[in-house]
Amino acid sequence: MLQFREINAEELNLIKEQLLFSLKFGEFEEVISSFKIIVAEGDWREILFISEGIFKIFQAFKEVRNPYFMGVHFGDIAKNKFKISLEGITLISEYIEEKTILSSSGEKKVLYGRNLTKNDLSALPTQIQKNDMSILVNNEGEVLALGKYLVNKEELENLKRNQIIIKNIMDKGWYLRKGR
């Protein structure tokens, strides 16, 4: 049974820190300025962004019935780690300038849930360190996925064409594979 409550300071800090660490994203305050943040706590904690209007109505009926979900699912906290969701990535993407641009083959592969090789990339962020997370977009700038670099940028030139460079962490093909 999920318990819905407002986010606490510790959880808020955890999200901020992990977004800064993994995605070098520091504009969290700006993103949340128009939302209330609710935690749906069960086996793990779902982080939901809701409007003030939804919050007021939720306050009125929460004693009677729990929602199944509400607003935008920004991510989850489990075992003291924050994991951003596909919706969360989409929400913050406009604030992140440096993304990884995929080729058309990369777009297809990533939406099938596959990892990416050198051939699948059209443009890379200026700085890449092994284990960096990056938002993956197509050549029209549309957000497709979140990936994790498995190499440093200086290693790229010497890699074989079929060697995996980016591990697919999550992608929008999920909506078709699992979300139906």
The residues that touch other proteins, with contacts defined as CB under 8 A, are 49, 51, 53-54, 57-58, 60-61, 64-73, 85-87, 90, 107, 111, 138, 142-144, 172-173, 175-176, 178-180
Closer Cβ to other proteins, 74 or 151, answer by number = 74
- Closest CB 149 distance from other proteins, rounded Å: 23
At CA 147, angle to CA 146 and CA 150, rounded to 5?
165
Least Å from the CB of residue 131 to other proteins: 27
How is residue 95 written in tokens? 């604030």
- Residue closer to other proteins, measured from CB, 20 or 176: 176
Give the span between the Cα atoms of 155 and 158, in whole angstroms.
6
Q: How far is the CB of 100 from other proteins (least distance, A)?
A: 16
Helix, strand, or coil here: 2? coil
Beta carbon nearer to other proteins, 65 or 160: 65
CA-based nearest residue to 107, from 151, 57, 172, 42? 172
